[in-house]
């Protein structure tokens, strides 16, 4: 099952709960616009590169569309569509005034020089510039894209439309980025987990944690959780996993990764496989790498009581049902990793106002947004007897439906449950 199919299945469960008609489901799931472009550039060696770029704009009911750009060999239209749909529901759960979009380029950045990546990125901007913009669709970083890539996008777009810092978020601090954006997704994961533990009478210092993926999201989550006293027992990346039952010395792991590029080889830990990390006996498991990490093939091995989806779509629908039936709490992606898009919203607001916020303001507003979202979702789950994922989708669908109804006369066609 691909990402789009699994997102649609999770949506369908919530739509059943709300009694949405087939027609309304189609209207809410069909992307507003799908763009595919052919990107032809020169390689450093004088040859030609040929890549495909995508931007799927899923919904603009609640505001300008918002979502990351992923540079990865798995990027295609279905992938972008599934991720774009998740963004629509995520921005609604976080209650920030954006719709959803996603895109990227089917490429492997590890095989490209900086100059080649720059050419590919700026050519992509030239090809999609008419359909993005500060009030239309605002890209951001995702897998294999970073603040440098966002800086290139802002620069290229501004050549055509004049000074436009609000066209992308996740920009460098020296180029209208926001303080706190780099670590925002990890910080949001921490707030969501903390709320979950609070409801169980626990706090971060009580739990052991394993984290799959040590990029932007995984490494910031690990660092922030360790600072709050959580015992980070295992982390992994594409090179493999490292484990220390006493708790990894996180500043030392971060230093090792800064010097060596990967977690493998870190001296004060044992090496295990990435698959063994997922099955490690910990209280909290945080998939923070790619989609499809936990499926029917390995779900039985999961021993954690809580799984926090820092990555997008890391758990397949079958695995999700299995975890639910075993009483494992899953904090879903559209809630758990909403911190990134939330601080992207703060960055966009600062760009529009041309006024920079202090870090304390960014973090305290993020804290408020994430805890409120967690309480909204968990309150609905408790009231209607739903798992957190279905409750998050129900909440998001209602918010999007109400915005659609306020813009048009479709309100007559929506069931009362969706409007209340």
Q: Which of 102, 129, 255, 375 is an active site residue?
A: 102
Task: Specify the residue, 226 or 289, whose C-beta has the smaller distance to ligand NAD.
Answer: 289
The two tokens of residue 41 are: 């550039």
> DSSP class of residue 354?
T
What is the CB neighbour count within 10 angstroms for residue 33?
Answer: 15
Taking CA atoms, 352 is separated from 60, 233, 296, 345, 346, in Å, by 19, 42, 46, 10, 10
Pairing of the two strands 240-243 and 65-71: unpaired
**Interface with ligand NAD includes 236 (CB under 6 A)?**
yes
375 labelled catalytic: no
Nearest distance, CB of residue 238 and ligand NAD, angstroms: 3
Among 238, 271, 272, 405, binds ligand NAD (CB under 6 A): 238
Nearest distance, CB of residue 385 and ligand NAD, angstroms: 28
Element (H, E) at 334: helix 333-336
Among 217, 233, 319, 403, binds ligand NAD (CB under 6 A): 217
Site size toward ligand NAD (CB under 6 A) is 24
Q: Of residues 322-351, which lie at the interface with ligand NAD (CB under 6 A)?
A: 337, 340
Among 237, 283, 347, 376, binds ligand NAD (CB under 6 A): 237
**Interface with ligand NAD includes 103 (CB under 6 A)?**
no
Q: What is the DSSP string of 95-151?
A: T-S--EEEEEES--GGGS-HHHHHHHHHHHHHHHGGG-BTTTEEEEE-TT--HHHHH
Which window, 30-38, 56-64, 231-239, 411-419, contacts ligand NAD (CB under 6 A)?
Answer: 231-239
Task: Specify the residue, 215 or 411, whose C-beta has the smaller distance to ligand NAD.
Answer: 215
Closest CA relative to residue 350, chosen from 339, 361, 338: 361
The two tokens of residue 323 are: 């975890």
Closest CA relative to residue 393, chosen from 59, 55, 23, 16: 16
> x/- site string to ligand NAD, residues 168 to 207, per CB under 6 A?
-----------------x----------------------
Q: Of residues 268-327, which lie at the interface with ligand NAD (CB under 6 A)?
A: 274, 288-290, 310-312
Identify the residue whose tokens are 């699994």. 6
Residue 28 Ramachandran class (φ > 0 left, ψ -120 to 50 alpha, else beta): alpha
Among 69, 132, 143, 234, binds ligand NAD (CB under 6 A): 143
Task: Specify the residue, 116 or 237, whose C-beta has the smaller distance to ligand NAD.
Answer: 237
Residues of this chain that interact with ligand NAD (CB under 6 A) are 141-144, 185, 212-218, 236-238, 274, 288-290, 310-312, 337, 340
Residues classed as catalytic: 102
């Amino acid at each position: 099952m691909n990402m789009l199919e699994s997102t649609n299945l999770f949506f369908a469960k919530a739509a059943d709960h709300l009694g949405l008609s087939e027609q309304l489901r189609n209207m809410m799931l069909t992307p507003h616009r799908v763009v595919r472009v052919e990107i032809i550039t020169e390689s450093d060696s004088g040859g030609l590169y040929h890549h495909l770029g995508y931007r799927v704009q899923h919904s603009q009911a609640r505001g300008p569309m918002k979502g990351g750009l992923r540079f990865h060999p798995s990027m295609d239209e279905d992938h972008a569509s599934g991720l774009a749909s998740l963004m629509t529901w995520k921005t609604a759960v976080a209650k920030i005034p954006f719709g959803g979009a996603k895109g990227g380029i089917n490429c492997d950045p590890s095989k490209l020089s900086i100059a080649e990546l720059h050419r590919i990125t700026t050519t992509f901007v030239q090809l999609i510039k008419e359909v993005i913009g500060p009030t239309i669709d605002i890209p951001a970083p995702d897998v294999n894209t970073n603040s440098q890539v966002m800086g290139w996008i802002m620069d290229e777009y501004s050549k055509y439309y004049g000074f436009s810092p609000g066209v992308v978020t996740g920009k460098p601090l020296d180029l209208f980025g926001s303080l706190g954006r780099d670590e925002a997704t990890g910080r949001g994961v921490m707030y969501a987990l903390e709320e979950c533990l609070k409801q169980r009478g626990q706090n971060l210092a009580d739990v052991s944690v394993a984290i799959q993926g040590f990029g932007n999201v995984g490494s910031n989550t690990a660092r922030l959780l360790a600072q709050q006293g959580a015992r980070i027992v295992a982390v992994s990346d594409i090179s493999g996993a490292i484990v220390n039952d006493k708790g990894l010395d996180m500043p030392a792991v971060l230093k090792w990764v800064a010097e060596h590029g990967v977690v493998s080889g870190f001296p004060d830990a044992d090496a295990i496989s990435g698959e063994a990390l997922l099955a490690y006996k910990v209280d909290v498991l945080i998939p923070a790498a790619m989609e499809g990490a936990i499926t029917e093939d390995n779900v039985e091995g999961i021993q954690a009581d809580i799984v926090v989806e820092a990555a997008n779509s890391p758990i397949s629908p079958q695995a999700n049902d299995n975890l639910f039936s075993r009483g494992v709490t899953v904090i879903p992606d559209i809630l758990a990793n909403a911190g990134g898009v939330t601080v992207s919203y703060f960055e966009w607001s600062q760009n529009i106002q041309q006024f920079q916020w202090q870090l304390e303001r960014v973090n305290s507003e993020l804290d408020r947004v994430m805890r409120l979202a967690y309480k909204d979702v968990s309150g609905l789950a408790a009231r209607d007897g739903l798992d957190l994922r279905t409750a998050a989708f129900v909440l998001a669908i209602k918010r999007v439906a109400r915005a659609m109804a306020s813009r048009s006369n479709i309100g007559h066609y929506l069931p009362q449950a969706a409007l209340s």
